[in-house]
């Protein structure tokens, strides 16, 4: 069959968590349908992504950068736009057996308006699919805050109730949808799709370090760090305050545990908000460190599989990035999850893993943060075993998103 997939503007923007969900989707489609033809509507179509995932990319509705999008609506709808992307999108959706939206299709990190914003993007393509008679589904839908904007609520109701199936990450998504009057009769909880990604085990993480001119002293504890600046809050003063706290925390970790620190960026995107690139965030933290000689920084752009394999090297990962923590778990490693502003983004993952004790708040004094690290190391075997067991269950669950959607498509075709 022919499938068109798209990621609510989130896939293929050098975000490893989103690309893990993409990998799970594509791998699952090929397991269910080995002869599948998969067209990927992407912000930046590239041969590299096509080859990495086994897909064919075409241009979506986004402009090439935030700067190019200033004062404009979706590409193709502005006076003077060629509209070539619209014609190509229409051609492939019209020819497809199924359109699949992945990830955060209903999101309010930036405001949704007419032909602008994440839920507007998905709604526009869903309307086109309805005109073409092509069914669509929502894959791995995640909502991390109550939906407040009236237009987003309308998008949510339209998208979910017209889909042949909606698979969601966690139970809390059902509550968020029900709270705004959206029917969930076609909705199934199937876990975080990132846990369903299969990875080539021949990828050598040591070679990745060598390519970044890094040699770790493996006689010491290796602690990896992944920190994101919540750029949507538009509060650089808070970020620099937190960066100071993190640098102080890391210096004390090095002094307390005689450890090496490896900074692993989980997003290296450079064509949106500058703070989306974790390497820039890491540079700020590095400037505030005392013990720079014990700290190592991945600076190359890696793909999702390479990034994932780096977690084999760590003894503990500390991050406010949900999927960086998931990668640690999938590699059988413990983590500490730094809280962020999005209400259930991290807490829902901790609940799923039955690990609320692994939450870390930067509101704590640095000595209290160190006590958390000491707790993890003192209970390392027990925690790692618990997390790995949950991870294997989540993998099985995550690989059911696509079978659920395919079953709904087959049921529709038979009706």
Q: Do 102 and 25 contact (CB within 8 A), yes or no?
A: yes
Q: Quick one: pLDDT at residue 343?
A: 65
For the chain, where do the domains classified as CATH 3.40.50.2000 start and end? Answer: 205-394
Bridge partners, residue 221, by sequence: 259
Domain 205-394 matching CATH 3.10.20.30: the answer reads no
Q: Quick one: pLDDT at residue 374?
A: 97
**Which tens digits make up the pLDDT trace of 284-337?**
999 999 999 999 999 999 999 999 999 999 999 999 999 999 999 999 999 999
* pLDDT, one tens digit for every residue, the chain (415 residues): 999 999 875 788 999 999 999 999 999 999 999 999 999 999 999 999 999 999 999 999 999 998 999 999 999 999 999 999 999 999 999 999 999 999 888 878 788 999 999 999 999 999 999 999 999 999 999 998 899 999 999 999 999 999 999 999 999 999 999 999 999 999 999 999 999 999 999 999 999 999 999 999 989 999 999 999 988 787 888 889 999 999 999 999 999 999 999 999 999 999 888 999 999 999 999 999 999 999 999 999 999 999 999 999 999 999 999 999 999 999 999 999 998 887 678 888 999 999 999 999 988 899 999 999 999 999 999 999 999 999 999 999 999 999 999 999 999 988 7
Measured distance CA(249)–CA(289) in Å, rounded:
9
In this structure, what are the phi and psi dihedrals at residue 186, rounded to the nearest 5 degrees?
-105, 20
Alpha carbon distances (Å) from 126 to 57, 160, 277, 397, 413: 18, 10, 30, 26, 19
Q: Quick one: pLDDT at residue 12?
A: 87
For the chain, where do the domains classified as CATH 3.40.50.11930 start and end? Answer: 2-190+400-414
Instruction: Name the CATH code of domain 2-190+400-414 (choices 3.30.450.40, 1.10.10.10, 3.40.630.10, 3.40.50.11930).
Output: 3.40.50.11930
154 membership: H or E segment, kind and range: helix 150-162
**Which tens digits make up the pLDDT trace of 264-275?**
999 999 988 899
pTM of structure: 0.95
Strand, helix or coil for residue 332: coil
Measured distance CA(218)–CA(206) in Å, rounded:
11
Kindly report the number of other CB atoms within 10 A of residue 67's CB atom. Answer: 9
């Amino acid at each position: 069959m022919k499938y068109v997939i798209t990621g609510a503007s989130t896939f293929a923007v050098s975000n490893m968590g989103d690309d893990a969900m993409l990998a799970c989707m594509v791998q699952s489609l090929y397991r269910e349908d080995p002869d599948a033809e998969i067209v990927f509507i992407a912000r930046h179509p590239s041969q590299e992504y096509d080859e990495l995932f086994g897909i064919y990319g075409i241009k979506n509705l986004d402009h090439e950068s935030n700067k190019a999008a200033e004062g404009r609506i979706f590409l193709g709808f502005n006076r003077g736009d060629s509209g070539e992307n619209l014609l190509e999108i229409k051609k492939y959706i019209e020819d497809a057996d199924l359109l699949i939206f992945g990830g955060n299709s209903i999101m309010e990190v930036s405001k949704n308006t007419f032909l602008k914003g994440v839920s507007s993007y998905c709604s526009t393509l869903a309307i086109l699919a309805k005109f073409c008679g092509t069914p669509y589904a929502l894959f791995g839908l995640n909502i991390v805050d109550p939906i407040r904007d009236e237009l987003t609520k309308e998008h949510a109701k339209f998208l979910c109730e017209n889909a042949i199936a909606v698979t969601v990450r966690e139970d809390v998504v059902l509550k968020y949808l029900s709270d705004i009057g959206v029917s969930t009769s076609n909705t199934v909880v199937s876990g975080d799709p990132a846990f369903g990604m299969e990875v080539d085990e021949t990828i050598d993480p040591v070679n990745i370090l060598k390519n970044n001119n890094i040699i770790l002293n493996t006689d010491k504890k290796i602690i990896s760090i992944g920190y994101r600046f919540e750029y949507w809050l538009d509060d650089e003063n808070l970020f620099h305050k937190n960066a100071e706290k993190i640098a102080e925390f890391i210096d004390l970790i090095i002094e307390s545990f005689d450890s090496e620190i490896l900074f692993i960026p989980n997003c290296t995107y450079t064509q949106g908000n500058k703070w989306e690139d974790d390497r820039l965030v890491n540079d700020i933290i590095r400037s505030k460190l005392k013990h720079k000689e014990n700290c190592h920084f991945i600076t190359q752009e890696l793909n999702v599989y390479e990034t994932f394999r780096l977690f084999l090297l760590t003894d503990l990962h500390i991050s406010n990035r949900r999927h960086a923590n998931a990668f640690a778990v999938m590699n059988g490693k413990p983590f500490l999850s730094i809280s962020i502003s999005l209400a259930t983004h991290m807490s829902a993952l901790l609940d799923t893993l039955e690990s609320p004790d692994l939450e870390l708040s930067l509101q704590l004094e640095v000595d209290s943060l160190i006590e958390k690290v000491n707790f993890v190391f003192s209970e390392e075997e027990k925690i790692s075993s618990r997390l790995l067991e949950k991870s294997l269950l989540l993998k099985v669950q995550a690989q059911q998103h696509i079978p659920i959607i395919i079953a709904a498509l087959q049921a529709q075709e038979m009706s």
